């Protein structure tokens, strides 16, 4: 009986790990998303005045410091606030969070709603040496 339970646990664990790897890989390889380093994101911000910058951290995190010109759309609210973003659908959009962990969820919401010109800052503010507002 214990062997069977261990076997089931191993199977569940393997399926879960496979799911995580699949999800990470499909996000990284998605051709509709431009993955940028902090340096590349900085250059994009300086070059493109039409860029919408979305900070998907919590409101409190946003208030503690954010990239100049960014708008706060916490990841937990982005799906319910997608109509607020529809007017920016044709513009390039840069999405970031604190470390790159939450922003992929926000990017997936944008993709599901047919946003196409999406830039994702890979390591979030962890790699951002350019100062915050």
> Alpha-carbon distance 97 to 122, whole Å?
9
pTM: 0.78
Written as tens digits, the pLDDT of the chain (133 aa) is: 777 777 788 788 878 777 766 666 556 656 678 899 999 999 999 998 899 999 999 999 999 999 999 999 999 999 999 999 999 998 999 999 999 889 999 999 999 999 989 999 998 999 899 989 8
Strands of the 118-121 sheet, one edge to the other: 33-36, 118-121, 93-96, 52-55, 71-72
pLDDT for residue 24: 63
Query: Sign (positive/negative) of CA torsion 76, 77, 83, 89?
Result: negative
Looking at domain 32-127, its CATH architecture is 3-Layer(aba) Sandwich (3.40)
pLDDT for residue 57: 97
Beta strand spans in the chain (E)? 33-36, 52-55, 71-72, 93-96, 118-121
- Going by C-alpha positions, the residue among 93, 111, 123, 116 that lies closest to residue 26 is 111
pLDDT for residue 6: 77
* Residue length of the chain: 133
The domain segmentation of the chain, as residue ranges, is 1-30, 32-127
């Amino acid at each position: 009986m214990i062997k069977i339970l261990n076997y089931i646990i191993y199977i569940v664990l393997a399926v879960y790990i496979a799911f995580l790897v699949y999800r990470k890989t499909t996000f990284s390889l998605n051709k509709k998303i431009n993955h940028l380093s902090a340096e590349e994101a900085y250059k994009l911000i300086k070059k493109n005045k039409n860029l919408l910058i979305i900070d998907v951290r919590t409101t409190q995190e946003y208030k503690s410091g954010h990239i100049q010109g960014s708008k706060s759309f916490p990841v937990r609210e982005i799906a319910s606030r997608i109509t607020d973003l529809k007017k920016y659908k044709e513009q390039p959009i840069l999405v970031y969070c604190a470390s790159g962990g939450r922003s992929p969820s926000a990017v997936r919401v944008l993709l599901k709603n047919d946003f196409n010109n999406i830039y994702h800052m890979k390591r979030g503010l962890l790699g951002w040496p350019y100062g915050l507002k």
